[in-house]
Amino acid sequence: MFDAVIIGGGPAGASCALWLKMLGFRPCLIERRSALGGLQNDNPYPNEWIASVMGKTGYEVAHDLDAHLTSHSIVCRRGEAVASLEVVAGGFRVTTENGALILARTAVLASGVRPVKGGLSASEQVLIGPGRTMFNAAFEGQHVAILGGGDNAFENYIFVRKRGATTVHIYARTIRARREFLEKVPASDVRLGPYAVEPETPAVADRAYDRLVVLYGWEPYLPYARDLELARTPRGFVETDAACQTSIPNLYAIGELAQRMHPCCVTSMADGIVAAKAIQRTLEEDAVARFVDRVRGAVTAP
């Protein structure tokens, strides 16, 4: 019986596991990839948003995160996907796709997000999501359509242009990108409103392109929790209170799947700390009560 089972070894889950270990508890972290680090494993760019980290790519941030948890001898089950999470007497039971059973008094959802596909399938002509796939793709001399109106769409417009694309158009039903990116993208290259996509051609709004880049945002990754009656937002993210507690007692949700703050590596790590401290309070209430009883018994003993 672990004190906490944490599903997902990205920045949020790793931070939660580390703090629980440092606070004197026994966490078990389960990660479906062979290494910890979450989406940082797909980020080949320097991550300049972490105040204490300089000049390191997402790959390096992920490597350091994995090494840090290993140095503290935290139980990490890498390369194991979770098949189901169940509420049982005394806590939670996790069943992995390998058939392993893990029991814990509390549980933490930290499995992150996946790119929204919008009904499309990835192929040589259709790229879905930012990161490693975009970084490795060749755009020289190509005609490219970017689908989406958020930061990723506008930032990758700039990236594709720098990679030598001949034409780049953004197709967006709404615009959500921050000012920094809006100022760098010509309005003439943005098509605003409904549009039809033909991935086989590929084409958008009856115009043919060499490549489509799908950047519709993110959705929570929770296939193992489909039988849990979790309160969700209209977009499917897990609802939590200020302590990262979900609608199920002793079950917490942290990082991007909870959408509690602006999603990024740093806020995800902060979420992990908030959940770890909440778990500490929960697990130590009984221990303090028992200790007080022993103290009172010792004082009144003849």
Q: In terms of Cα–Cα distance, which of 47, 62, 39, 67 is closest to 130?
A: 39
Question: What's the confidence (pLDDT) of residue 301?
Answer: 63
Q: Determine the pLDDT at residue 78.
A: 97
Check residue 82 and give its pLDDT: 98
* Residue type at 199 in one-letter notation: P
Minimal CA–CA distance to 142: which of 107, 166, 123?
166
> And the tokens for 232?
């969700």
Q: Can you tell me the distance from the alpha carbon of 62 to that of 283, in angstroms, rounded to the nearest whole number? A: 30
In whole angstroms, give the CA distance from residue 182 to residue 150. 10
> What pLDDT was estimated at residue 112?
95
Give which of 246, 250, 253 is closest to 230, Cα–Cα.
246
Phi, psi angle pair for 59, to nearest 5°: -55, -45
pLDDT at 298: 78
Question: Which helix (H) or strand (E) segment is 104 a member of?
Answer: strand 101-109
* pLDDT tens sequence for the chain (302 residues): 999 999 999 999 999 999 999 999 999 999 999 999 999 999 998 999 999 999 999 999 999 999 999 999 999 999 999 999 999 999 999 999 999 999 999 999 999 999 999 999 999 999 999 988 899 999 999 999 999 999 999 999 999 999 999 999 999 999 999 999 999 999 999 999 999 999 999 999 999 999 999 999 999 999 999 999 999 999 999 999 999 999 999 999 999 999 877 888 999 999 999 999 999 999 998 777 778 888 888 776 66
Classify residue 40 by burial, with Cβ atoms within 10 Å: 0-12, 13-18, 19+: buried
Q: What is the pLDDT of residue 185?
A: 97
* Under 8 Å between Cβ of 250 and 107: yes
CA distance 143 to 212: 9
Domains (range + CATH), the chain: 2-114+219-298 (3.50.50.60), 126-214 (3.50.50.60)
CB 129, CB 214: distance < 8 Å: yes
pLDDT of residue 201: 94
CA angle 225, 230, 232 (to 5 degrees): 110
Amino acid found at 167: T
Inter-residue contact 213 to 144 (CB < 8 Å):
yes
Summary count for the chain: helices (H), strands (E): 6, 17
